[in-house]
Structure 1
Amino acid sequence: MKVSNKILTIKNYEQYLDLDTNAAKYRIILLNDEIVRVRCTFDKEFQEEASYSLVFTAWEDKMDDLLKEERKRVAPVSTKYEDLDTHILLTTKKLNIIINKEPFVIKITDKEGNLLHSDLKERSYVKDNLGRLYHYSCMDDEDYFYGFGEKTGYLNKKNRRMRMHNVDTIGYDSEYTDPLYKHIPFYIKFNNRNNIASGVFYHNSYDSVFDMGCERSGYWNKYSYFCADGGELDVFFIYGPKIKDVVRNYTDLTGKTALPTKYSLGYMGSTMYYTELDKDSDQAILQFLDKCQEEDIPCDGFFLSSGYTTGEDEKRYVFNWNHHRFKEPGNFVKEMKKKGASLAPNIKPGMLISHPLYKEFDEAGAYIKDEHEEKSQIDRYWGGLASFVDFTNPKGRKLWKKHLKESLVSLGITSIWNDNNEYEINNSEAICYFEGLKKKVSALRPIMPNLMAFMAKEAIGEVHPNARPYITNRAGFAGIQRYAQTWAGDNNTSWKSLKFNIPVILGMGLSGVANQGCDIGGFYGPAPEPELFVRWVQNGIFQPRFSIHSCNNDNTVTEPWMYPSYTNYIRDALKLRYQLVPYLYSMLFEASILGSPVMRPLIYEFQHDKKVLEESFDFMFGSFILVANVLERDQKTRRVYLPEGITWFDWNTKQVYEGGQTIELEVSLDSIPMFFRSGSIIPISEDLMNIHKDKIEKMKFLIEPSQNSSFVLYEDDGLTNNYKNGEFLKTEISVKRDNGVKITFEKEGNYNNQVKEVMIDLICKDIAPVQISLRDKKLPMFLDKNKWEISEEGWYFNIEQKTAKIKYLNITENYDIRINFDVKDLISI
Structure 2
Amino acid sequence: MSSVPAIKLPSIFLLLLLLFSIHFTSIHSWKKEEFRPCNEAPFCKRTRSRKPHTTTFTVSNLSALDGKLKARLHQNSESGSQDSVPIRPLLLELSVYRGGIMRLKIDEDYNLRPDSLKEKTRFQVQDVLLQDLDDMRVWIPKVERSKDPSFSTFYIKHGFEAVVKHNPFEIFVRTTAGDRVLSINSHGLFDFEQLREKKEEETWEERFRSHTDTRPNGPQSISFDVSFYGANFVYGIPQHASTSLPLQSTIGPGVDHSEPYRLFNLDVFEYLHESPFGIYGSIPFMVAHGRKRSSGFFWLNAAEMQIDVLAEGWDGQTHSEEHEKRIDTVWMSEAGIVDAFFFVGPEPKEVLRQYTSVTGTQAMPPQFAMGYHQCRWNYRDEADVYGVDAGFDDHDIPYDVLWLDIEHTDGKRYFTWDKASFPNPVEMQNNLTAKGRQMVTIVDPHIKRDESFSLHKEFTQKGYYTKDASGKDFDGWCWPGSSSYPDMLNPEIREWWEDKFSLKNYVGSTPSLYIWNDMNEPSVFNGPELTMPRDLVHYGGVEHREMHNLYGFYFQMASSNGLLKRGDGKIRPFVLTRAFFAGSQRYGAMWTGDNTADWDHLKASVPMVLTIGLTGFAFSGADIGGFFGNPGAELLVRWYQLGSFYPFFRAHAHHDSSRREPWLFGERNTALIREAIHVRYSLLPYYYTLFREASVNGSPVMRPLWYEFPSDTETFTKSESFMIGNSILVQGIYIQGQKTVSVYLPGGQSWYDLRSGVTFSGGMSHDLKVSEDNIPSFQKAGTIIPKKERFRRSSTQMVDDPYTLVIALNDTLCAEGEIYIDDGKSFEYEQGAYIHSYFLFSNGILSSTNIIPTHPSKFSFNRLIERIVLLGIPSESKRILIESARHDLDMGVGPLTLRTGSNPVAFVIKKPNVSIGDDWSLRIL
TM-score scaled to structure 1, two decimals?
Answer: 0.89
Task: Kindly indicate whether residue 448 of structure 2 is the aligned counterpart of residue 335 of structure 1.
Answer: no
| Structure 1 residues 215 and 797: CA distance shift in structure 2, 3 A | closer
Task: Kindly indicate whether residue 448 of structure 2 is the aligned counterpart of residue 352 of structure 1.
Answer: yes
Q: Deviations over 1:101-137 (max 9, x none)?
A: 1111111112222211123435142125842111112
| Number of the residue aligned with 1:63 | none
Amino acid in the other structure paired with 1:132:
S
> How is 1:698-777 mapped onto 2 (pairs within 5 angstroms)?
698-706=802-810, 708-735=814-841, 737-738=842-843, 740-746=844-850, 749-753=857-861, 755-775=863-883
Q: Deviations over 1:716-772 (max 9, x none)?
A: 12122222232211112223x34x444333366232335234321112255542543
Identify which of 263, 266, 275 aligns with 2:371: 266
| Number of the residue aligned with 2:165 | 100
Task: Kindly indicate whether residue 367 of structure 2 is the aligned counterpart of residue 302 of structure 1.
Answer: no
Q: Distance in 1 between matches of 2:226 and 2:682?
A: 46
Task: Kindly indicate whether residue 759 of structure 2 is the aligned counterpart of residue 656 of structure 1.
Answer: yes
| Number of the residue aligned with 1:826 | none
Q: Please identify, of 87-96 and 342-351, the stretch whose mean Cα deviation from structure 2 is larger.
A: 87-96
Q: Distance in 1 between matches of 2:921 and 2:652?
A: 45
Identify which of 558, 561, 571 aligns with 2:660: 558
| Structure 1 residues 79 and 189: CA distance shift in structure 2, 3 A | farther
Q: Distance in 2 between matches of 1:353 and 1:567?
A: 45
Q: Distance in 1 between matches of 2:875 and 2:177?
A: 44
| Number of the residue aligned with 1:825 | none
Task: Kindly indicate whether residue 126 of structure 2 is the aligned counterpart of residue 74 of structure 1.
Answer: no
| Structure 1 residues 47 and 274: CA distance shift in structure 2, 3 A | closer
| Structure 1 residues 385 and 137: CA distance shift in structure 2, 3 A | same
2:779 alignment partner, SS class: strand
Q: Deviations over 1:763-816 (max 9, x none)?
A: 22555425432218985353xxxxxxxxxxx65575435122223113353112
Amino acid in the other structure paired with 1:564:
G
| Number of the residue aligned with 1:255 | 360
1:499 deviates by: 0.7
Identify which of 39, 52, 61 aligns with 1:9: 61
Q: Deviations over 1:411-447 (max 9, x none)?
A: 32441111110024432111111xxx33111111222
| Structure 1 residues 42 and 285: CA distance shift in structure 2, 3 A | same
Task: Kindly indicate whether residue 74 of structure 2 is the aligned counterpart of residue 22 of structure 1.
Answer: yes
| Structure 1 residues 177 and 240: CA distance shift in structure 2, 3 A | closer
Structure 2: 5+ residue stretches without partners: 1-45, 47-53, 76-89, 112-120, 195-218, 251-259, 319-326, 524-530, 885-889
Q: Deviations over 1:474-530 (max 9, x none)?
A: 1110000001111111111111111111100000000100011011011012x2100
Structure 1: 5+ residue stretches without partners: 60-72, 276-280, 783-793, 821-829
Contact 1:687 1:696 in 2 (8 A): no
| Number of the residue aligned with 1:123 | 188
Q: Distance in 1 between matches of 2:862 and 2:891?
A: 26
| Number of the residue aligned with 1:55 | 130
| Structure 1 residues 779 and 608: CA distance shift in structure 2, 3 A | farther
| Number of the residue aligned with 2:83 | none
Contact 2:69 2:140 in 1 (8 A): no
| Number of the residue aligned with 1:325 | 421
| Number of the residue aligned with 1:785 | none
Q: Distance in 2 between matches of 1:682 and 1:30?
A: 39
1:401 alignment partner, SS class: helix
> How is 1:354-753 mapped onto 2 (pairs within 5 angstroms)?
354=450, 356=453, 357-372=455-470, 374-405=471-502, 406-407=505-506, 411-424=510-523, 425-433=531-539, 437-465=540-568, 466-525=570-629, 527-554=630-657, 556-565=658-667, 566-689=669-792, 690-706=794-810, 708-735=814-841, 737-738=842-843, 740-746=844-850, 749-753=857-861
Contact 2:705 2:723 in 1 (8 A): yes
Q: Distance in 2 between matches of 1:457 and 1:288?
A: 27
1:444 alignment partner, SS class: helix
1:401 deviates by: 2.5
Q: Distance in 2 between matches of 1:699 and 1:211?
A: 49
1:209 deviates by: 0.7
| Number of the residue aligned with 1:143 | 232
Q: Distance in 2 between matches of 1:122 and 1:693?
A: 59
1:477 alignment partner, SS class: coil
- Size of the aligned set, in residue pairs, is 777
Q: Deviations over 1:539-598 (max 9, x none)?
A: 0100121111101535x1221112023101001111111001100111111111011111
1:198 alignment partner, SS class: strand
Contact 1:551 1:557 in 2 (8 A): no
| Structure 1 residues 636 and 796: CA distance shift in structure 2, 3 A | closer
Q: Deviations over 1:633-664 (max 9, x none)?
A: 00111110111221111122222222111111
> How is 1:147-186 mapped onto 2 (pairs within 5 angstroms)?
147-153=236-242, 154-160=244-250, 161-176=260-275, 178-186=277-285
1:703 deviates by: 0.8
Amino acid in the other structure paired with 1:284:
D
Contact 1:769 1:804 in 2 (8 A): no
| Structure 1 residues 236 and 75: CA distance shift in structure 2, 3 A | closer
Q: Distance in 2 between matches of 1:711 and 1:669?
A: 30
Contact 2:376 2:655 in 1 (8 A): no
Q: Distance in 2 between matches of 1:750 and 1:409?
A: 35
Amino acid in the other structure paired with 2:780:
R
Contact 1:688 1:696 in 2 (8 A): no
| Number of the residue aligned with 2:214 | none
Task: Kindly indicate whether residue 858 of structure 2 is the aligned counterpart of residue 806 of structure 1.
Answer: no
Contact 1:768 1:804 in 2 (8 A): no
| Structure 1 residues 177 and 111: CA distance shift in structure 2, 3 A | closer
Contact 1:696 1:755 in 2 (8 A): yes
Contact 2:751 2:779 in 1 (8 A): yes
Amino acid in the other structure paired with 1:390:
D
Q: Distance in 1 between matches of 2:599 and 2:64?
A: 57
1:209 alignment partner, SS class: strand
Q: Distance in 2 between matches of 1:177 and 1:322?
A: 40
Amino acid in the other structure paired with 1:563:
F
| Number of the residue aligned with 1:66 | none
Amino acid in the other structure paired with 2:268:
T
Amino acid in the other structure paired with 1:422:
E
| Number of the residue aligned with 1:791 | none
| Number of the residue aligned with 2:179 | 114
Identify which of 368, 371, 393 aligns with 1:293: 393
Q: Distance in 2 between matches of 1:519 and 1:149?
A: 17
1:599 deviates by: 0.9
1:48 deviates by: 8.4
2:378 alignment partner, SS class: helix
